[in-house]
């Protein structure tokens, strides 16, 4: 059985968990906090989460894990069969994570953990995120899912990152930049929120955020 290691505060942990649930893969969850403790470094080379433990050994980096799960458990596919459409699915994932979420991560200290971020950093991040969101608007289909008419790994990624994008931009800039630039996200979020798997991931995430006082 797969052992999923990390915490529900992490959107990368949550994307992995959502894929496991969607594919119907049996797994355990182990709470692991990122650190440089030698015992953790023996399981995760950079002390990061998430990582999984399998019968063959450990595997880190969430996107690598998603690819492994897709290849190892093909019964419920989360990538299109057509090679070009699979590439488009991966393009969406990479765009969301590298051109938007990675930029916004520079603001998490103030948005979620009580720290402060300089006005210069906020302005720089806003410029990059606005460009990234405009690009995302050109890539997304919402027909009804983000990559077309089938629920895919791109949806698993979008669902967890969209929450972080919306909350962070509201806290830092006073407006939900995601919905402002891509209005179709509102109906999309409402639709995917009806999935039992999504409800499970969201409930577990919100329980952690409430315990930390980040949301009420």
Dihedral sign for Cα 188, 193, 194, 197, please. positive
Q: Detail the DSSP E strand segments found in 47-197.
A: 51-54, 57-60
Structure tokens at 97: 């994570």
Same domain, 160 and 205: yes
Q: How confident is the model at residue 52 (pLDDT cuts 50, 70, 90)?
A: very high
Q: Would residue 94 count as lying in a domain? A: yes
In order, the DSSP letters of 17-43 are HHHHHHTT--EEEEE------HHHHTT
Give the model's pLDDT for residue 34.
96
Residue-level pLDDT at 73: 97
Per-residue pLDDT at 197: 98
Let me know whether 61 and 125 are in one domain: no
Answer yes or no: do 53 and 101 share one domain.
Answer: no
pLDDT in tens, 62-98: 999 999 999 999 999 999 999 999 999 999 999 999 9
Give the separation between CA 59 and CA 50, rounded to whole angstroms: 9
| 145 and 49 both lie in a single domain | no
- Give 213's pLDDT tier (boundaries 50, 70, 90): confident
Instruction: Tell me the pLDDT band of 54, cut-offs 50, 70 and 90.
Output: very high
- Tell me, yes or no, whether 114 and 206 share the same domain: yes
Two tokens, residue 12: 């990368």
Residue 211: its pLDDT value, please?
Answer: 87
Specify the DSSP element, H or E, that contains 92.
helix 83-94
Of 35, 52, 72, which residue sits at a domain end?
72
**Which strands make up the sheet holding 57-60, listed edge to edge?**
27-31, 2-6, 51-54, 57-60
Q: Is residue 78 part of a domain?
A: no
State pLDDT tens for residues 124-142: 999 999 999 999 999 999 9
Would you say residue 99 lies in a domain?
Answer: yes
* Domain match, 97 and 51 both: no
**pLDDT above 80 (res 216):** no
Asked if residue 34 lies in contact with residue 47, where contact means CB atoms within 8 angstroms, the answer is yes
Annotate 180-203 with b (16+ C-beta within 10 A) or e (fewer). Answer: ebbeebeebbeebeebebbeebbe
Q: Write down the pTM of the prediction.
A: 0.95
DSSP 66: H
- To the nearest whole number, what is the mean pLDDT of the chain? 96
67 and 87 together in one domain? no
**End residue of a domain, out of 21, 44, 72:** 72
Overall average pLDDT of the 95-112 stretch: 96
Does the CA dihedral 8-170-179-133 come out positive or negative?
Answer: negative
| 152 found inside a domain | yes
Is the pLDDT reported for residue 204 higher than 80?
yes
pLDDT tens per residue, range 136-188: 999 999 999 999 999 999 999 999 999 999 999 999 999 999 999 999 999 99
Indicate whether 144 belongs to any domain. yes
How many CB atoms neighbour CB 174 within 10 A? 8
Which pLDDT band, with edges at 50, 70 and 90, does 214 fall under?
Answer: confident
CATH number where 147 lies:
1.20.1050.10
213: left (phi over 0), alpha (psi -120 to 50) or beta: left
Q: Which domain holds residue 24?
A: 2-72
Is residue 125 domain-shared with residue 22, that is, in the same domain?
A: no
Q: What is the greatest pairwise CA distance in the chain?
A: 49
Domain count within the chain? 2
Residues 110 and 177 in one domain: yes
Q: Domain boundary at 72, 91, 113, which?
A: 72
17 lies in some domain = yes
pLDDT of res. 215: 76
């Amino acid at each position: 059985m797969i052992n999923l290691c990390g915490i529900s505060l992490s959107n990368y942990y949550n994307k992995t968990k959502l894929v496991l649930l969607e594919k119907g893969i049996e797994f355990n969850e182990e709470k692991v906090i990122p650190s440089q403790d030698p015992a953790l470094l023996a399981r995760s080379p950079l002390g990061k989460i998430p990582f999984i433990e399998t019968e063959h050994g450990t595997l880190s980096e969430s996107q690598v894990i998603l690819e492994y799960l897709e290849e190892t458990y093909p019964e419920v596919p989360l990538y299109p069969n057509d090679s070009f459409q699979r590439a488009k699915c991966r393009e969406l994932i990479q765009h969301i994570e590298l051109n938007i979420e990675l930029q916004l991560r520079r603001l998490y200290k103030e948005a979620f953990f009580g720290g402060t971020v300089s006005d210069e950093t906020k302005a720089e991040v806003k410029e990059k995120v606005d460009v990234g969101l405009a690009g995302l608007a050109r890539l997304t289909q919402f027909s009804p899912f983000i990559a077309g008419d089938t629920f895919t790994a791109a949806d698993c990624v979008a669902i967890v990152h969209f929450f972080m994008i919306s909350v962070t931009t509201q806290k830092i800039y006073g407006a939900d930049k995601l919905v402002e630039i891509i209005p179709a996200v509102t109906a999309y979020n409402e639709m995917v929120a009806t999935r039992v798997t999504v409800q499970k991931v969201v409930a577990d995430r919100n329980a952690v955020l409430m315990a930390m006082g980040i949301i009420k």
